[in-house]
Chains A and B, each alone.
Chain A
Amino acid sequence: MKYMLMMNCPRDGYDQFTSWPKKDIEAHIAFMIGFAKKLQGSGEWVDGQGLDAPTQAKVVRAGKDGKPITDGVFPESKEYLAGYWIVDVESPQRAYQLAAEASAAPGPGGVPFNMAIEVRQVMSGPPETK
């Protein structure tokens, strides 16, 4: 079964991250690389991507003429999606366990950052609808 693990960050999370000390940034990046390698090694990795900074985000809706109307940057949301993993695992418990591992990525001073990871199952269907 496939799950999407969504790493959500508070609205000012990006600014926090960019002002961490160098060794904490390095430790965080090294953790993320290691986590991806581990998932690939265990055969559970499907996909994983980091998204660009929320300051670059646009919210788009179709106007009456079907043309895009873009809104600025997440005006109201308290949280934003920083990145995600899609894993193929044996059980929901395994997905939660992986999410907890990701959540414990080191933050400032090497202390677990305890980010909120939203876990959602990816729906399955017959191949022709994919």
Chain B
Amino acid sequence: MTYASLDRRAEHLLRDLAPQVLGATLRRFRDFAACEDAVQEALIAAASQWPRDGIPDNPRGWLIHVALRRMTDHVRSEISRRNREAAAIEDVPIVVAPAVYAEPGIDPDDTLVLLFMCCHPSLSSASAIALTLRAVGGLTTGEIAKSFLVPEPTMAQRISRAKQTIESSRVPFVMPDAAERSQRLSSVLHVLYLIFNEGYTSSSGPSLHRTDLSNEAIRLTRAVRQLLPDDAQVAGLLALMLLTDARRVARTGPVGELIPLDEQDRTLWDQEAIVEGVALVSMAMSSGTVGEYQLQAAIAALHDEAPRAEDTDWPQILALYGVLKRMSDNPVVVLNHAIATAMVDGPRAGLALLEALDNDERLAGSHRLISVRAHLLERAGERQAATTLYRDAAGRTTSIPERNYLLMRAARLSETS
């Protein structure tokens, strides 16, 4: 099931309204799993009725009304089921008062509270991603399954288990208090970042990009930024996504192979996204605490602003990676710091820094470490060693475009030497 019958404007409207409708439904009924199902049914009803009857005057009210009616039906059938069971067991009917309708209030924070719920630390990241895309993003299970290249029943089960986890951990539908909020916000941003990355660098499958996921991550991050316009981490993350996504078209070649930054056709970069990203990152960097997303965005901005690869401000990038390295224990940061060092102080200096990673279990034997070493060896003129390592890395990556790039890099080196 998709919203294929809707035009773009209607689909956007529907999906922007999805979290608000769910919020309003949850305020009336506490049952998260059932409410989420009811909202999904309302969205699907809209997708089939709106193209025929036109978009209603009050689309949000329409959706809320349909979702609440579904919930009332659900509660009624629950009551009669329980009454039947109770009658059989102890003959005591359980009577639940029917839901009273009133125009439910809309709280703009509902979307944020929902995100906090869907990205709750009790969920695995795969579950949080799926639940966020459905409950907040308003995507259908079929669309999410397609994005992750898994069968629809598998994705349906993943979402349903995620909802059960939320139910059983009794996460309330309320805004976390100030003390908890910043920690919970970082879980949300992390999930959005993972969705973006899954779209940008698909971890499996034949194509490098799944644009729909990247676009969805950007759309959701924009929504968070609207709710928290002064949060520098949120601005930093949005900037990072825009500045990275700006290079998407230039990133793959004719047979779908990866094209590295220094060989990309920069005229293909999306200038509009770069301008917006740079403005955001400048704002984020000047407002108080500097976090990882801002720093990564600042680095992406330096790449995007260089008219040619050789114009890249590597000393500045190196300085930023230095700050990042002190801030986080991420071996990928160490890897990138080594690359920046090689660009400033020469490949040997970079290679020396890579040695520190050889004993890091998180990267040992990974294609990333091997391919970076291959690049630096190539720059240092050790073509044979570089060729061998490119092939070694190609045999370890699970991304087809990346494998193809590494193989061609090796082939090019061995043919010209």
- Chain A residues with CB under 8 Å of chain B are 14, 17-22, 25-26, 29-30, 33, 36, 50, 52-53, 55-56
Contacts and interface: CB of A to CB of B under 8 A. Distances in A.
B256 interface: yes
Interface string B230-267: 00000000000000000000000011110000000000
- Across the A-B interface, the 5 shortest Cβ-Cβ residue pairs: A22-B411, A53-B395, A29-B255, A18-B391, A30-B255
B48 interface: no
Which of A18, A30, A50, A55 is packed against the most chain B CB atoms within 10 Å? A18
Contact of B391 (A19, A29, A50, A52): A19
A33 B256 contact: yes
Contacts of B407: 17-18, 25
B411 to A, nearest CB: 4
A53 B396 contact: yes
A50 B204 CA distance: 10
Nearest to B255: A29
Main secondary structure of the interface of A (DSSP, over half): helix
Contact of A26 (B255, B395, B414): B255
B59 to A, nearest CB: 35
Interface in B373-417: 391, 394-398, 400, 404, 407-408, 410-412, 414-415
A108 to B, nearest CB: 11
B206 A26 contact: no
A51 to B, nearest CB: 9
Contact of A25 (B254, B396, B398, B411): B411
Contacts of A26: 254-255, 408
A21 B206 contact: no
Contact of A33 (B255, B394, B412): B255
Contacts of A55: 395-396
19 contacts: A14-B395, A17-B407, A18-B394, A18-B407, A19-B414, A25-B404, A25-B407, A25-B408, A26-B255, A29-B256, A29-B257, A33-B256, A36-B206, A52-B395, A52-B397, A52-B398, A53-B395, A55-B395, A56-B395
A63 to B, nearest CB: 24
Which of A20, A30, A50, A55 is packed against the most chain B CB atoms within 10 Å? A50
A36 B326 CA distance: 46
Contact of A20 (B206, B256, B411): B411
A55 B396 CA distance: 8
B411 A56 contact: no
B146 to A, nearest CB: 13
Contacts of A19: 391, 410-411, 414
B405 to A, nearest CB: 11
A50 B410 CA distance: 20
A18 B206 contact: no
B410 A18 contact: yes
Nearest to A51: B398
B400 A50 contact: yes
A37 to B, nearest CB: 11
Interface in B153-210: 206
B263 to A, nearest CB: 14
B202 to A, nearest CB: 13
Nearest to B412: A22
B206 A33 contact: yes
Contacts of B394: 18, 53
A26 B394 CA distance: 15
Which of A14, A19, A21, A29 is packed against the most chain B CB atoms within 10 Å? A29
Given A33-B206, A36-B206, A21 B415 contact: yes
A29 B415 CA distance: 19
Contacts of B395: 14, 18, 52-53, 55-56
Contacts of B254: 26, 30
Nearest to B151: A47
Nearest to B397: A52
Contacts of B396: 52-53, 55-56
B411 A29 contact: no
Given A19-B414, A52-B395, A52-B397, 6 more contacts: A20-B411, A22-B408, A33-B255, A33-B256, A53-B395, A56-B395
B415 to A, nearest CB: 6
A79 to B, nearest CB: 17
Nearest to B399: A52
Contacts of B412: 22
B381 to A, nearest CB: 20
Nearest to A52: B398
Contacts of A14: 395
Nearest to B398: A52
Nearest to B205: A49
Contacts of B400: 50
A5 B407 CA distance: 25
A64 B366 CA distance: 31
Contacts of A20: 411
Contacts of B408: 22, 25-26
Contacts of A30: 254-255
Contacts of B257: 29
